[in-house]
Amino acid sequence: MSAPNVIDGRAIAEQVNQETAQRVAKVRARGIEPRLVFIRVGQDPASRVYVGMKEKVSARLGIATQTCVLPESAREEDLLEMVARYNADPSVHAILVQSPLPRQISEARIFSAVAPEKDVDGFHPMNVGKLMLGDPTGFRPCTPAGIHELLIRSGVRIEGAEAVILGRGNIVGKPMAAILLQKAVNAGATVTICHSQTRDVASHCRRADILIAAIGSAQFVKAGMVKPGAVVIDVGVNRVPDPAAAGGARLVGDVDFAAVQPIASKITPNPGGVGPMTIAMLLQNTVRAAEGAAGLNPAH
């Protein structure tokens, strides 16, 4: 049994999934089958696993999926043509291009090519702009949206909190900051983003009421960097050598969980914290896209 201060991301994701399943049923009652297309380029093992996990949960919730795979050698034009084909297909409500992409393909160009109303990853410039403006009609990126939901459903007070985010990436760090600082319910935090050029990262971390680690450095956050009673969210997925583990390596987060857990008021495990929420929010975005096609008023 987990400690009482450990946030159960799997359980909260299942709450969201059940709500999504109810919304899927209403869309299907209108004669519309929510459909999500995954596009992969190459055979990256992690990408194959991630897409497989998303397909499995989609099927359970009643969302139809299709996975298209292009060879590693595919040209950017090949991928753009595929995206354009699914943009134009009214039976497809959502498109996800799985990253990373091979070096000959510009992720920014591909993400910008996905129709904004089908961009359930929330990476199109229009959806990024809506997030910055506080416009709820856009799609929010799934990982930061999932973290926000974890905080809300765990009873964490965000209004007025000092939130420190480790990492300034476009997938987690920047959109997470935008979500938390909005002038809105369950937002209104004072946000600091730390990155590779931040001086004395530890001093910033020790101010945090909410500390979100998305820096991509194994067990970077140590006990001495965390204020007693802080809420700690671990986004990192890092492979470290471990002769005792299968394959000679194991996955750890950006937080030294064993050292930090006794200090935090709430903390996410890794795995079982943020990961399940990312998938749950992707499928929530997908049913929102289908609701729009069905003429229903999408819930935000």
Q: What is the CA radius of gyration of the chain?
A: 19
Cα–Cα distance between 172 and 164 in angstroms, integer?
Answer: 13
Residue 98 a catalytic site member: yes
Cα–Cα distance between 94 and 283 in angstroms, integer?
Answer: 9
User: Taking Cα atoms as reference points, which of 155, 152, 150 lies closest to residue 12?
Assistant: 150
Is 79 within 8 Å of 39 (Cβ atoms)?
Answer: yes
* SS3 (DSSP) at 119: strand
Is 137 within 8 Å of 130 (Cβ atoms)?
Answer: yes
Catalytic residue among 121, 209, 234, 256: 121
Catalytic residue among 54, 118, 130, 266: 54
**Paired tokens of 69:** 């795979």
Catalytic residue among 8, 44, 89, 98: 98
Residues ≥6 apart with Cβ < 8 Å to 14: 276, 280
Residues ≥6 apart with Cβ < 8 Å to 25: 62
Cα–Cα distance between 148 and 145 in angstroms, integer?
Answer: 5
The catalytic residues are 54, 98, 121
